[in-house]
A and B are shown apart, each in its own frame.
Chain A
């Protein structure tokens, strides 16, 4: 007894997690694309003539995002210049494979592609870093470096905006994580569809309300070419407790995901609560709530043979600095070399990040 599509008479292929509706393939494609369009219009994400960099990893979310944005840009004449922007962390056997997928997407979607590497930005690949720090804290390096790398690449391309493939499940997960960590400042920011709008380079998430299930089903039925694997340096990173928790909740009641995002949006911080002030790093100019940003501290540790610097408590960094053991030069040499080109613009352009 095949179930029929709720909108036409064809055979349904998907039960929508958000609404419980059964839809056929064509009605699903249409509903999926139109909802993303509605999100873009309601939040006023783009203006005609903008150059938009799509953070592309070769994974499902960014692949579907690139495809959907290209489709909508044509259907609704957004007049956007879309560019694929990938970060190469320098992980042999992981990122080199996924970058091959991005290169195929570049051909398939006829979009320009820019790849920016940790090696050129920081002087270190993740493979090099793992040799220094081992497998315990390497994800800290990778995470901190990746945030800046996407902005950095986007600035080189002189784009107006970055879009990322973060989906509803990701955002619900972040809400839960920020609650568990008691991180009020991030909790306040993490449901925003656009961040860093006060700087020159905003970031936005057109899939904010799009369920992971639908993204994967869309990719499946459209036969989109994406890459899925586990990072070789953190085979179990995706087993994060928040993620498992969200998936378990979804299995019980699919609307939980959107409900958690809604709760996050409704959360307000009393005016008298002091939140950390976001300033800029004194060494590289990137946005930071500390005097020196985390990336600069981590990089200084690597370059001085103190790979644990920046992993422990911040006061250790201050102590070593007072003793004249670190930060003896005024700037990180690698950063300076790369950043001199657009000196001064970093401080103004630095974008706030959530993840």
Chain B
């Protein structure tokens, strides 16, 4: 079954996504196990990122300095990469690396 989640990029992170901040996405069903943030990052890199992927992902996680919120809570409280996505989850990525 497809999983629909909303993604939001801000704080300058949207510049890597054609300046589009809000994305409603349908993730295809995974054969082996649930969708986690770790899988989502790979999916974002392959399907949404428009430029300079190294400014968003580093190894299998987000680049240090990008904050992640899962349903308006710090991902550090939610299991980070291992958090299992649920339908209608809202994941926000905020860059702290951009200046004013």
A interface residues (Cβ-Cβ under 8 A, vs B): 2-3, 11-15, 22, 57-63, 98, 169, 212-213, 215-217, 220-221, 226-231, 237-238, 243-244, 247-248, 250-251
Partner of A243 from the list B69, B94, B97 (CB cut-off 8 Å) is B97
Q: Contact: B77 with A228, CB < 8 Å?
A: no
What is the minimal beta-carbon distance from B65 to any residue of chain A, in angstroms? 4
Q: Contact: B77 with A247, CB < 8 Å?
A: no
A98 and B73 alpha carbons, distance in the complex (Å): 28
What is the minimal beta-carbon distance from A122 to any residue of chain B, in angstroms? 21
Q: Contact: B73 with A213, CB < 8 Å?
A: no
Q: Which 9 pairs show the lowest CB-CB distances between chains A and B?
A: A59-B100, A57-B100, A247-B64, A228-B12, A247-B65, A15-B76, A251-B64, A228-B98, A3-B77
Partner of B73 from the list A12, A60, A226, A229 (CB cut-off 8 Å) is A12
B interface residues (Cβ-Cβ under 8 A, vs A): 10-12, 15, 63-65, 67, 69, 72-74, 76-77, 92, 94-100
Shortest Cβ distance from B98 into A: residue: A228
Interface of B: prevailing SS? mixed
Give me 10 other A-B pairs in contact (C-beta within 8 A), A14-B73, A169-B96, A229-B98 excluded: A57-B100, A216-B11, A229-B12, A229-B99, A230-B12, A230-B15, A230-B98, A243-B97, A247-B63, A248-B64
What is the minimal beta-carbon distance from A269 to any residue of chain B, in angstroms? 31
What is the minimal beta-carbon distance from A338 to any residue of chain B, in angstroms? 25
Partner of B67 from the list A62, A216, A248 (CB cut-off 8 Å) is A216
Interface centre among B12, B95, B100 (most CB of A within 10 A): B100
Contact status of A61 and B94, CB under 8 A, knowing A13-B72, A228-B11, A230-B15: no
On chain A, the residues within 8 Å of B65 by CB distance are: 212, 243, 247
Contact status of A230 and B99, CB under 8 A, knowing A216-B94, A247-B64, A251-B64: yes
Partner of B98 from the list A12, A63, A213, A238 (CB cut-off 8 Å) is A238
Q: Contact: B77 with A15, CB < 8 Å?
A: yes
Interface of A: prevailing SS? helix
Q: Contact: B74 with A226, CB < 8 Å?
A: no
On chain A, the residues within 8 Å of B10 by CB distance are: 228
A171 and B100 alpha carbons, distance in the complex (Å): 17
Contact status of A231 and B64, CB under 8 A, knowing A3-B77, A217-B74: no
On chain B, the residues within 8 Å of A60 by CB distance are: 11, 96, 100
A14 and B63 alpha carbons, distance in the complex (Å): 19
Q: Contact: B74 with A13, CB < 8 Å?
A: yes
What is the minimal beta-carbon distance from B32 to any residue of chain A, in angstroms? 24
Shortest Cβ distance from A249 into B: residue: B64
What is the minimal beta-carbon distance from A10 to any residue of chain B, in angstroms? 11
What is the minimal beta-carbon distance from B73 to any residue of chain A, in angstroms? 5
Contact status of A228 and B95, CB under 8 A, knowing A213-B67, A216-B11: yes
A228 and B73 alpha carbons, distance in the complex (Å): 22
Q: Contact: B72 with A228, CB < 8 Å?
A: no
What is the minimal beta-carbon distance from A218 to any residue of chain B, in angstroms? 12
On chain B, the residues within 8 Å of A221 by CB distance are: 72
Shortest Cβ distance from B72 into A: residue: A13
Q: Contact: B100 with A98, CB < 8 Å?
A: yes
A22 and B74 alpha carbons, distance in the complex (Å): 9
On chain B, the residues within 8 Å of A244 by CB distance are: 64
What is the minimal beta-carbon distance from B11 to any residue of chain A, in angstroms? 5
A247 and B94 alpha carbons, distance in the complex (Å): 14
Q: Contact: A227 with B77, CB < 8 Å?
A: no
Shortest Cβ distance from A169 into B: residue: B96
Shortest Cβ distance from A24 into B: residue: B73
Contact status of A238 and B100, CB under 8 A, knowing A11-B73, A14-B74, A229-B12: no
